[in-house]
Structure 1
Amino acid sequence: MGPLAGVKVVEFAGIGPGPMAAMQLADMGATVLRIERREPADLGVPRPLKYNLLLRNREAIALDLKDAQSIELVLELISGADALIEGFRPGVMERLGLGPDVCRERNPRLVYGRMTGWGQDGPLAHAAGHDINYIALTGTLNAIGRKGQAPVAPLALVGDFGGGAMFLVMGVLAALLHARSTGQGQVVDAAVVDGASSLATAFYGLSAGGQWSGERGTNILDGGAPHYDCYECLDGRYISIGPIEARFHAELLRRIGIDEAAAGSPGDRSCWERMRGEFQRVFKTRTRAQWCELLEGSDVCFAPVLSFDEAPHHPHLQARASFVEVDGVFQPAPAPRFSATPSKVPTAPRMPSGVAALGSWLSAERVEHWRHFLQDERSAA
């Protein structure tokens, strides 16, 4: 199932953007085999395994990548793969004997996807780092937060998952198209600093044109504008509004009973504080549910601010089946949606399964060849 049915991907286990990219490819139908370390590693994996949703939809085997036989098995798998994903620091795969040159000698059409925070080269390439550091360097983190307050880390959505995983997926898919038409694979260097910078392209343009203030929390899309913000309700919960367009803004004022003359014009920044005060006053007069009843589905650009527990049960997301329940765990359904080749129904994350994971990769004879070795590996682990 899925538009990538028949595509085979070898994934080297890691954290953050690598597993997210592998999940996306697997959701779209690719057969992904995860190579786990045999020895325990601090990869930030929650326990129990069923809650590590980034590991869904694929099999895994555990290998000692310092062992020659393990490396030979990996190279045999790579010989039949379309793509490889790894997220080690630059040079690690080369030291293991699994660098791009070695792998593409075995398989010239292989797409070799490399995921790092800083990139494969540059002064910081070998330094440790995490999402917050990468987006800090790109200017993105500096732009997120309230006026007069410290920058706010936006989960890992802008860096690891948006600027990292999604750009790795895009790069791998583009390289796969090229490999299918030419028979030539290539290396995809996906770096969070590059992807996060790319996501901020529009804001770099606004800044260059003098339409974006360097002071966070003072612009129209960063919470600075009163008509693009979140407000507390009578019950302590929050709602969001975003009527940037004049007709939508006028509709909001009409529905919530604010006189436009009292609030001022949204295009006049000198009115913003007065308008914010009016919104704060009015939105605290009703509960979130009451505001939903009045405003949801209208043209005022409104939505309640829901928690992770609440979101799967919202009628709109239920109608679209935006979430699924797998092994008792609610989780986002595969996205995007395909009319002719629907994505896989997610399967729960799985522990490394040894030789059973090789069935769709190797012939029965070769699976048998590796049986005792993998059993020995599992016993040693």
Structure 2
Amino acid sequence: MLLADLGAEVIAVGGGRSGLPVPALARGKQFVTLDLKTADGRAALHRLVEVSDVLMEGFRPGVADRIGAGYEELRRINPRLVYCSVTGYGQTGPLAQAAGHDINYAAVGGALGTFGPADGPPVPPLNLLADFAGGGLLAAFGIVSALYERERSGAGQYLDAAMVDGVLSMMGMNFADWGHRSLPARGEGVLTGSMPAYRCYPCADGRHVAVGALENAFFANLWAALELGEVPDHLDPDNWTEIGERLTAAFATRDRDAWAERFAGVDACVTPVLEPHELAGFGQIKERYDGFDPGSVPPVPVFSRTAARAGHTDTADATEAVLTRLGVSADVARRVTAGGGGPAVTGLSWPPL
């Protein structure tokens, strides 16, 4: 989706156990169905590869090779091809063939063990960390970098994009902090919520504000805005219990939106904690993305000349149209489409409930 928003023509090849596309991520893509166990299906894929810059696949290691879609075979068809394999654990190692989901990759990558309260089990941050950040963003970054390098070398290359690797990379700063004062253990330290200057507080209406007043100036502004008197040393853990109690009592006296209004224009790093249905009416989001719809997130980032654009969403099977446009005979295109039979819902489709 990110690459499609930036202008890439994206053709998603499904079939067999691939399941159905996630509707929220389907925009800007065309969907084709190929049975890669047949000669016609493999030939159609090879025709796509001939004219493509990038191929992404998410099979377990070795599967793409067995169905005629491996890198070594496809690079002979198109030496300029950037081939990106996205997996949980990577192409090598004892877990390479193991099944998993975001929660598993975040766990093995050393991130999940740092999330959540000290007196409870780790809490996953939805599936943002491994799936979307360590997986999707890492893959997109790698693909664009490989395309940039290809302009110099003229050659494509293979990318092994593992979600665990992405998690490891993102945790670099936190790994260095682990076991030290800033992050001694799960649920303890500066960024875990145990430090009162970096925490969410309930308000009178049951909603919350987020406080990120780490620096001295921001904390002093926070304390002054709440009219709590002399500013304590908020970096001293010995003061955290008392500071937390005073901030909790203060924020409980007004509704969330009243606090948002009070801190508007105050450099104290205090913001309302918004739920998805509230975003469209929030000033910052409305100013940058008028008409914001949680069902279709905005294309990012903002470019000065070549604006990203969210494409049309159409999940209908476009196999025949795509293949005939690429020179595949109408007869073969129809045969491939009929043979594929559409994507079977034997894989996980979203939402699963």
TM over 0.5: yes
Counterpart position of 1:90: 61
User: What are structure 1's unaligned runs of at least 5 residues?
Assistant: 1-22, 47-51
Mapped pair 1:62 → 2:40: no
The amino acid across from 2:220 in the alignment is A
| Counterpart pick for 1:215 among 161, 182, 185 | 185
Q: 1:267, 1:114 → 2: CA distance?
A: 44
The amino acid across from 1:344 in the alignment is R
Counterpart position of 2:45: 74
Q: 1:259, 1:286 → 2: CA distance?
A: 19
Does the aligned pair in 2 maintain the 1:317–1:323 contact within 8 Å?
Answer: no
Does the aligned pair in 2 maintain the 1:243–1:300 contact within 8 Å?
Answer: yes
1:372: Cα distance to partner?
2.9
| Counterpart pick for 1:335 among 297, 300, 308 | 300
Mapped pair 1:205 → 2:171: no
Counterpart position of 1:174: 145
Counterpart position of 1:17: none
Alignment of 1:1-381 (within 5 A): 23-37=1-15, 39=16, 41-42=18-19, 52-207=23-178, 210-260=180-230, 264-321=232-289, 324-325=292-293, 330-358=295-323, 362-363=326-327, 366=328, 368=330, 370-377=332-339
Q: 1:190, 1:95 → 2: CA distance?
A: 20
Structure 1 residues 125 and 79: CA distance shift in structure 2, 3 A: same
Does the aligned pair in 2 maintain the 1:53–1:349 contact within 8 Å?
Answer: no
User: What are structure 2's unaligned runs of at least 5 residues?
Assistant: 344-353
Q: 2:127, 2:279 → 1: CA distance?
A: 19
Structure 1 residues 299 and 367: CA distance shift in structure 2, 3 A: farther
Q: 2:69, 2:310 → 1: CA distance?
A: 32
Name the count of aligned residue pairs: 343
1:315: Cα distance to partner?
1.4
Does the aligned pair in 1 maintain the 2:279–2:292 contact within 8 Å?
Answer: no
Structure 1 residues 367 and 334: CA distance shift in structure 2, 3 A: farther
Q: 1:87, 1:270 → 2: CA distance?
A: 49
Q: 1:72, 1:259 → 2: CA distance?
A: 75
1:331: Cα distance to partner?
2.1
User: Structure 1 vs Structure 2: percent identity of aligned residues?
Assistant: 35
Counterpart secondary structure, 2:160: strand
| Higher mean displacement: 341-350 or 142-151 | 341-350
Structure 1 residues 217 and 309: CA distance shift in structure 2, 3 A: same
Does the aligned pair in 1 maintain the 2:222–2:268 contact within 8 Å?
Answer: yes
Q: 1:347, 1:167 → 2: CA distance?
A: 25
Structure 1 residues 24 and 150: CA distance shift in structure 2, 3 A: same
Q: 2:146, 2:341 → 1: CA distance?
A: 38
1:323: Cα distance to partner?
6.4
1:120: Cα distance to partner?
0.3
Structure 1 residues 377 and 298: CA distance shift in structure 2, 3 A: farther
For residues 202-248 of structure 1, the C-alpha deviation after alignment (integer angstroms, 9 at most, x for no partner) is 1122237x343341121111111101010111011111010111111
Q: 2:71, 2:218 → 1: CA distance?
A: 53
Structure 1 residues 217 and 322: CA distance shift in structure 2, 3 A: farther
The amino acid across from 1:295 in the alignment is F
Does the aligned pair in 1 maintain the 2:174–2:183 contact within 8 Å?
Answer: no
The amino acid across from 2:31 in the alignment is A
1:348: Cα distance to partner?
2.0
Does the aligned pair in 1 maintain the 2:208–2:256 contact within 8 Å?
Answer: yes
Q: 2:44, 2:102 → 1: CA distance?
A: 33
Q: 1:380, 1:222 → 2: CA distance?
A: 46
Relative contact order (alpha carbons < 8 A, sep ≥ 6): 1 or 2 greater? 2
Normalised TM-score (structure 2): 0.91
Does the aligned pair in 2 maintain the 1:243–1:249 contact within 8 Å?
Answer: yes
